Amino acid sequence: MHAAPGGVAAGGGHTSRPAFTRGPGEACDGEVVRFLVEGAGRGPREALTLVTVPAPVAPLPALWGEDGAPAVVWAQPGGRELAGVGEALAVTASGEQRFARVGAAAATLNACLAVRHPDAPPVAPALLGGFAFAAEGSRGAWRPFGAATFVLPRWTYERHRDGRATLTLALAPAEFPRPEALAAEARAVLDRLRRPVPAGYLGRVRVRSIPARRWRAMVEEALAAIAAGSLRKVVLARPFQVEAAATLPVTNFLWRLCAGNGGGHRFAFRLSGTTFLGSSPELLVARRGREVASEALAGSAANGEALAAFAEDPKQRAEHDIVVEAIRGELEPLCDTLAVAARPSVREYGELVHLHTPISGRLRGEVPVTELARRLHPTPAVGGTPSSAALAWIGRHEPVARGWYAGPVGVVEPSGDGAFAVALRGALVRGRRARLWAGAGIVAGSTPEGEFLETGMKARAALAVLGLGA
């Protein structure tokens, strides 16, 4: 990043106090607003300008708003917690190069001009967004999301692990806002961060899915392909349609999602009035420097069942071990060291339990998180194996396109660091309707009845995350 003139350093540092000082009895917001306006006026303006100030600590949904503007939320357990509104930069891509293009776009943020208030902790600029499950992109209700869409929000709010919070304004190179207009905009954003939590949504909804006989036929066809040797595993996504009498309250869903303590990766993306949000139990990959982390999460049962028997069930272990093998096979050639737990543990996640194997390593070279995601997606936990055969089978047989469901969603930094979760336990919401998906891994020994029950449990878990009753 470039150094800003006037004594404020780029790249998250600083060399002096701002030109103004707080007057007697002056509210902190006044100083913050003036710093934002002053920072926005610094030059030269040949690149993006980022102005970061301290902000009140607030729940992430406070910034969301009801105006329909582009908005994002990302919260990784033990990682970054971000919310954003507006759009200073948008990156879209499709096809086999979509991961590389997003990574290259993130790297350009190194050239931005960064102005940081002395009381604000350092922040790394980040693109937030996701990739569709399939490389060719999205259609129907998913069309605004495309094959890959990432944004640098105009306003990014971050809660830091030391208990502080920051607000960052991003300005495009050609943007020179009037000081009065920018000051009013900044005050409105700060006011949002102090809004009370809205009441939860208590209404009931109607939930429909494909007929049981159609599901049975899909599972039986998958089992026939496995018996014939063309597949070892394939994951079927069962679609569910949610309808309400009135517009579904996305903001209330988001408040409930972020108030939960289930330990999931919480995400929300609003594009062209359509929102995809959820809380995923599954990390695809995270990179911090040379350290890389992933996990295998496959094999599911209702919480409360005999957990020891579940952990040793041959069908569950076979489904899980396929995922472990695939992740190990992709990461091992890239790492000096790779640690894979010898046996899976049982992880509780709301109403469900899953077999879980953590995987971590140290990269041999500079491999950006987008390239790691490209190599790993889709794991057999959401696709199948052999991967190409499973994906072709899914494309021919699933009745509703997945869009971003089971795709990678997350955050990318200019350094190549970042994290992606697998977009599970989520819903695509627009108006009175929402759609969600629940997946089941089909292997030898699976039954249509068992997988029907499993997808029903997962759908109920996704609905519960949002506070919806069926």
Any bridge partners for residue 292, and if so which? 287, 361
- How much is the pLDDT for 26? 32
pLDDT attached to residue 24: 33
What's the pLDDT score for residue 383?
Answer: 97
Instruction: List alpha helices for 199-272, DSSP H.
Output: 212-227, 250-259
Pairing of strands 265-271, 418-422: unpaired
Q: Give Rg (Cα) of the chain.
A: 23
CB–CB of 39/174 below 8 Å? no
C-alpha to C-alpha distance for 45 and 66, rounded to whole angstroms: 31
Q: What SS3 class is residue 140?
A: helix
**Residue 209: strand pairing partners:** 240
- Interatomic CA distance for residues 376 and 296, integer angstroms: 11
CA torsion 302-303-309-315 (nearest 10°) is 40
Burial of 104 by CB count in 10 Å (0-12 exposed, 13-18 middle, 19+ buried)? Answer: middle
Report the 3 state secondary structure along 79-94. CCEEEEECCCEEEECC
Q: What does each of the 470 residues of the chain score in pLDDT, given as a tens digit?
A: 543 323 233 333 332 223 333 333 333 789 999 999 999 887 666 789 999 999 999 999 999 988 889 999 999 999 999 999 999 999 999 999 999 999 999 999 999 999 999 999 999 999 999 999 999 877 889 999 999 999 999 999 999 999 999 999 999 888 888 999 999 999 999 999 988 666 555 567 899 999 999 999 999 999 999 999 999 999 999 999 999 988 999 998 999 888 876 679 999 999 999 999 999 999 999 999 999 999 999 988 888 767 888 888 898 999 999 999 999 999 999 999 999 999 999 998 878 899 999 999 999 999 999 999 999 999 999 999 999 999 999 999 999 999 999 999 999 999 999 999 999 999 999 999 999 999 999 999 999 999 999 999 999 988 888 877 64
Q: CA–CA separation, 422 vs 411, rounded Å?
A: 12
d(Cα 61, Cα 426) in Å, to the nearest integer? 16
> Which tokens in the block code for residue 137?
């992109």
Strands 113-116, 49-54: pairing is: parallel
Cα–Cα distance measured from residue 180 to residue 30, given in angstroms and rounded to the nearest whole number: 13
The angle at the Cα of 337, spanning 333 to 342, to the nearest 5 degrees, equals 100
Q: Encode 270-288: b = buried (16+ Cβ within 10 Å), e = exposed.
A: bbeebbbbbbbbbbbbbbe
Question: Mind listing the domains of the chain with CATH numbers?
Answer: 28-186 (no CATH), 206-466 (3.60.120.10)
Residues 6+ apart with CB under 8 A from 104: none
pLDDT of residue 34: 94
Q: Which residues of 422-440 are buried (b: 16+ CB within 10 A; e: fewer)?
A: bbbbbbbbbeebbbbbbbb
| 273 φ, ψ (degrees, to nearest 5) | 80, 0
Q: Which residues are catalytic?
A: 233, 282
- pLDDT tens profile 431-456: 999 999 999 999 999 999 999 999 99
Q: Report the C-alpha gap between 195 and 65 in whole angstroms.
A: 10
Return phi, psi of residue 392, to 5°. Answer: -65, -40
* DSSP tag of 22: P
